[in-house]
Amino acid sequence: MEASRGELARTDPGTGRKLWTVQWSKASLDYGADGSFGGTMVGVRGVLFGRSGERSLFEADRAEARQKEDWLKLSGRVRLQAQDPPSSLRCDEVLWDAAAGTVKARGGVVLETAAYSVGPFPELWATPDLTYFSTPDLFEAGRGGKERWNKR
């Protein structure tokens, strides 16, 4: 089914917590025999939510999502904008893995804050508020240390 201008919000079915919202200028939606749906959207913008609410705004040329999954894939001139503290991430593609709480960015990834700019990297993973980022091989180990530090 083709649709023009619309909006979709994805929530965690177990907790009701918002995972992401997306608005599009044009979309192609697919409905499964089991009642599930997914689709590809063009001209998108929206919000990524973390455990404590809204974390980043985004814009991209395209997005893909599936109702049964907790991910949202953004591609083409992707830009994420975090508000607190202010920072931005630019790249070619992002996979927002809401279940893991991880932004997985690929292709010319540049992260900018008021204090510094890093990149471009071929791939960088980050928390949805962009306050912690690392290469994929070091991300989980470093984030575990950050979470332990924040609990003190």
Closest by CA to 52, choosing from 105, 136, 152, 131, is 131
Per-residue pLDDT, 142: 72
Closest by CA to 102, choosing from 125, 85, 121, 84, is 125
Mean pLDDT in runs of 10 for the chain (152 residues)?
A: 72 87 86 73 93 88 84 96 94 93 96 94 95 91 52 30
Per-residue pLDDT, 144: 61
How far is the C-alpha of 152 from the C-alpha of 148, rounded, in Å? 7
Model pTM? 0.85
How far is the C-alpha of 27 from the C-alpha of 62, rounded, in Å? 9
Tokens representing 54 are 């809204």
How far is the C-alpha of 97 from the C-alpha of 92, rounded, in Å? 16
Strand extents, DSSP E, the chain: 2-11, 18-31, 37-50, 53-66, 71-83, 86-97, 102-113, 117-126, 133-134
How far is the C-alpha of 90 from the C-alpha of 95, rounded, in Å? 13
Closest by CA to 10, choosing from 53, 56, 68, is 68
Going from N- to C-terminal start, the domains of the chain cover: 2-150
CA 128 to centroid of chain Cα atoms: 7
Per-residue pLDDT, 55: 87
What architecture (CATH level 2) is domain 2-150? Sandwich (2.60)
